[in-house]
Amino acid sequence: DAKTTQPPSMDCAEGRAANLPCNHSTISGNEYVYWYRQIHSQGPQYIIHGLKNNETNEMASLIITEDRKSSTLILPHATLRDTAVYYCIVQKMKTSYDKVIFGPGTSLSVIP
Amino acid sequence: DTAVSQTPKYLVTQMGNDKSIKCEQNLGHDTMYWYKQDSKKFLKIMFSYNNKELIINETVPNRFSPKSPDKAHLNLHINSLELGDSAVYFCASSGGRAGTQYFGPGTRLLVL
């Protein structure tokens, strides 16, 4: 079973911020939060990851609560091309010996 | 330059046939994976290889046999194909300090 829970679907108006929540209440101290997205028919694409501090890159921001039991991925200005399934997963930094489990994710629809 | 490539992109075959899917990564990563994404869109890990050594072998029928001739390649051979093998198969790789996985474009297998 996946170690994370996410809402199955969300809508967001184009140009607005998309805030995608994720619960990971059983996360252990050496596990990171990773976000990927899968645009229809393509391979999953890495977005961002973090341990306990908030992170930002050119694609998105990641806000992790102080207790690390939940996080929010923020796409600051959603575009139609951001329509995709977004996966939140927890994993140790080195994945070789760690079975990464993808849940069903959140299907984000960006609406014109 | 394509980081993780898979061939073929599409594969249509009859039940009972044997087929192979090839994966190559030019990222210099030590770890490679095979995932299966079924019609319900769940992404499930099948195998993980680190430096040509099998690390993770999920509950996959022994008709599926991965082979890693070198660090840059991980092939998947499937014997006696069944209808339930129809899915999209993704190859991925990871390496370096971060556990980020880079996915290939997928191979769409249809067994008739």
**Residue pLDDT, tens place only, A46-97:** 999 999 989 999 999 999 999 999 999 999 999 999 999 999 999 876 655 6
What is the structure's pLDDT at A94?
A: 64
Mean pLDDT of A25-30: 89
Q: How far is CA B51 from CA A55, B29, B30, B54, B108, in A?
A: 31, 9, 5, 8, 27
Whether B45 and A97 lie within 8 Å, measured CB to CB: no
- B47 pLDDT above the threshold of 80: yes
Confidence band for B36, pLDDT divided at 50, 70 and 90: very high
Per the prediction, chain B carries an average pLDDT of 91
Q: How far apart are CA B70 and CA A9, in angstroms?
A: 40
Q: Chain B within 8 Å of A95 (Cβ-Cβ)? A: yes
Instruction: For residue B111, give how far its alpha carbon lies from the nearest alpha carbon of chain A (Å).
Output: 18
Q: How far apart are CA B47 and CA B28, in angstroms?
A: 19
- B96 pLDDT above the threshold of 80: no
Whether B43 and A44 lie within 8 Å, measured CB to CB: yes
What is the structure's pLDDT at B100?
A: 87
What is the structure's pLDDT at B25?
A: 96
What is the structure's pLDDT at B41?
A: 81
* Number of cross-chain residue pairs from A and B with Cβ atoms under 8 Å apart: 63
Instruction: For residue A35, give how far its alpha carbon lies from the nearest alpha carbon of chain B (Å).
Output: 10
Give the closest of B42, B56, B104 to A43, CB-based: B104
What is the structure's pLDDT at A66?
A: 94
Whether A43 and B31 lie within 8 Å, measured CB to CB: no
Q: Please report, to the nearest 10 degrees, the dihedral formed by the alpha carbons of residues B43, A95, B4, A5 taken in order.
A: 30
What is the structure's pLDDT at A41?
A: 81
* B9 vs A contacts (CB less than 8 Å): none
Q: Chain B within 8 Å of A97 (Cβ-Cβ)? A: yes
* B102 vs A contacts (CB less than 8 Å): 46
Mean pLDDT of A30-57: 92
